[in-house]
């Protein structure tokens, strides 16, 4: 049976990673978290003491990065040079710096090249901001996953407080609004819904319901289940 390429895009906190990983698990596909790739470049930039606005040096970091993504027992492990940075890329500091790094044209070029290689011949679920519009325009299934900003901020707040960070919900909502604006208004590969993407609003959906909605679409389109 044909192995599909499934692209899931949407704003921060819409539940993309959780939903995309579960869809991949159900289909026996590989899950590729492209946000984690931009976060890893940001982490490597900070580690090397390079300022995130030094465009040339940051792009060089992206071109040289030795990045490994693996999914192990329901979690994506991210490694750079064999250092496990799975948790280190989800701190408030990286959240703050990653928008600038992901606006860097050289960084995007290097990451898109890697992403297309990773998508290979199919059997992948890739999530991000520009997957259906730019990285994999020929994807078999395109989903635009979203939720209200209040709900997305609340989810991020739960995720961070659960990890022991002391964060303020209102500040988090403000930060997500800023990130939405930066992601949507940037010149290169902005966050927009592809013309042929299906909109799935998860504000009032559980994770399981969102997963089932997408699997149903895959089944309707290609009979994969």
* Segment interacting with ligand DC (CB under 6 A) among 24-32, 34-42, 147-155, 194-202: 34-42
Q: Does 224 bind ligand DC (CB under 6 A)?
A: no
Report if residue 34 touches ligand DC, rule: CB under 6 A.
yes
Q: What would the DSSP string read from start to end of 136-187?
A: -TT-SEEEEEE--HHHHHHHHHHHHHHTT----HHHHHHHHHHHHHHHHH-S
Please tell me whether residue 125 binds ligand DC under the rule CB under 6 A: no
- Binding of ligand DC at residue 147 (CB under 6 A)? no
Rounded-to-integer distance, Cα 148 and Cα 204, Å: 9
Please, are residues 139 and 131 in contact by the beta-carbon 8 Å criterion? yes
Question: Is there binding between residue 38 and ligand DC (CB under 6 A)?
Answer: yes
Using the rule CB under 6 A, is 92 a contact of ligand DC?
no
Residues 6+ apart with CB under 8 A from 17: 33, 35, 36, 76, 127
Look at residues 106, 119, 133, 140 and name the one whose alpha carbon lies nearest to residue 38.
106
- Helix axis angle, 34-47 relative to 105-119, nearest 10°? 130
Q: Does 52 bind ligand DC (CB under 6 A)?
A: no
Q: φ, ψ for residue 180 (rounded to 5)?
A: -55, -45
> Which of 119, 133, 183, 224 contacts ligand DC by CB under 6 A?
183
Instruction: For ligand DC, give the closer residue by CB, 134 or 213.
Output: 134
* Residue range at the interface with ligand DC (CB under 6 A); choices 75-83, 97-105, 116-124, 199-207: 97-105
Candidate list 102, 173, 202, 213; residue touching ligand DC; CB under 6 A: 102
Q: Is 43 a binder of ligand DC (CB under 6 A)?
A: no
Binding site for ligand DC (CB under 6 A): 12, 34-35, 38-39, 98-99, 102, 128-131, 179, 183
């Amino acid at each position: 049976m044909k192995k599909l390429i499934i692209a899931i895009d949407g704003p921060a906190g819409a539940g993309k990673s959780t939903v995309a990983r579960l869809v991949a698990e159900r289909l026996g596909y590989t899950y590729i978290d492209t946000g984690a790739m931009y976060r890893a470049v940001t982490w490597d930039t900070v580690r090397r003491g390079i300022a995130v606005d030094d465009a040339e040096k940051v792009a060089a970091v992206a071109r040289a990065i030795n990045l490994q993504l693996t999914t192990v027992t329901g979690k994506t492990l991210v490694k750079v040079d064999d250092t496990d940075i799975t948790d280190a890329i989800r701190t408030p500091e990286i959240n703050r710096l990653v928008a600038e790094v992901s606006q860097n044209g050289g960084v995007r070029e290097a990451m898109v090249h890697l992403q297309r290689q990773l998508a290979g011949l199919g059997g992948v679920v890739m999530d991000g901001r520009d997957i259906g519009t730019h990285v994999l325009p020929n994807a078999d299934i395109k989903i635009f996953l979203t939720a209200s900003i209040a709900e997305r901020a609340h989810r991020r707040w739960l995720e961070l407080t659960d990890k022991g960070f002391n964060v303020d919900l209102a500040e988090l909502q403000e930060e997500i609004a800023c990130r939405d604006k930066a992601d949507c208004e940037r010149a290169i590969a902005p966050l927009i819904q592809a013309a042929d993407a299906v909109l799935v609003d998860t504000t009032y959906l559980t994770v399981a319901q969102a997963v089932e909605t997408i699997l149903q679409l895959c089944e309707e389109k290609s009979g994969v289940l």
